[in-house]
Amino acid sequence: MISNIELETNCSNSVICRYGTEKVLEDANQKAFELIGYFNSKLTNLSYDSQVKFIEFVIDENSKEFNFIEKNRTVAEKLVVGLVDSFIESQQTQGIKISPKIASFAKKNKITLDERPQNLSPEGARRQGAFNEAKRQSGIPISQQPSRTYPNVDRRGYPQPGRIYEFDLPKEGGGLKRVIIRDDAKGHFFGENNPQNRGPHFNDPQGRHYDY
């Protein structure tokens, strides 16, 4: 295991070093994916304004010498792109305008601003099939029922059609972790021909979509 001191010694000036992430240089693509999920889980505990400030901090810390050629990116750069991409997608899912700084970074990277997020539901799936796939992809047994359910709300706390399903899953070493699946029963509409327009769907903790 790489210690924080060893990591800081071998890292360039990036947000990953500052947060002491372990083994960041191993298996770059997989680690970047895991770290994106980790940061996303932490961001959900912050206020919306704090989330925006954190993402903008990540961009400021990493974009000065950023390699915008995808195939040449380091693990740190892949993490930054993935984190920003995931945050933008979650904002657009909620119908929230993206800050100019985040939008500018996204435009340079040609990420979700002009692309419709992939539908991960099985072909022809209805609501239950989409829900089951969201559970499966999130590590929740298909047969497990939600521990708690709540009315659906957007990031600003405004009521929205649908429900929020909260599952308690056992953690390694004991204890429970909370996994949330959100039912966006209305979908969202951003204007004619906008690629982000979407019908009813579920979102998993990583913001992925399961249409029904």
Residue 47 and residue 79 in one domain? yes
Residue 98 and residue 181 in one domain? no
Classify residue 154: in a domain, yes or no.
yes
Classify residue 120: in a domain, yes or no.
no
pLDDT of amino acid 182: 92
Residue 35: beta bridge partners?
none
Residue 86 and residue 16 in one domain? yes
- What is the β-pairing status of strands 176-184 and 148-153? unpaired
Classify residue 122: in a domain, yes or no.
no
Write out pLDDT tens, residues 51-84. 888 888 888 876 665 554 454 556 667 677 777 8
Alpha helix (H) residue ranges in the chain: 4-10, 15-18, 28-43, 48-62, 75-93, 100-109, 127-137
Classify residue 72: in a domain, yes or no.
yes
In which domain, by residue range, is 156 found?
127-211
Classify residue 29: in a domain, yes or no.
yes
Task: Specify the number of domains making up the chain.
Answer: 2
Domain end among 92, 114, 136 = 114
Enter the pTM of the model.
Answer: 0.49
Q: Which residues in the chain come in under a pLDDT of 70? A: 1-38, 40, 62-76, 78, 93, 110-116, 155-156, 190, 193-195
Residue 70 and residue 24 in one domain? yes
Residue 97 and residue 36 in one domain? yes
Classify residue 195: in a domain, yes or no.
yes
Residue 110 and residue 9 in one domain? yes
- How far apart, in whole angstroms, are the C-alpha atoms of residue 158 and residue 94? 10
Residue 70 and residue 164 in one domain? no
Residue 102 and residue 177 in one domain? no
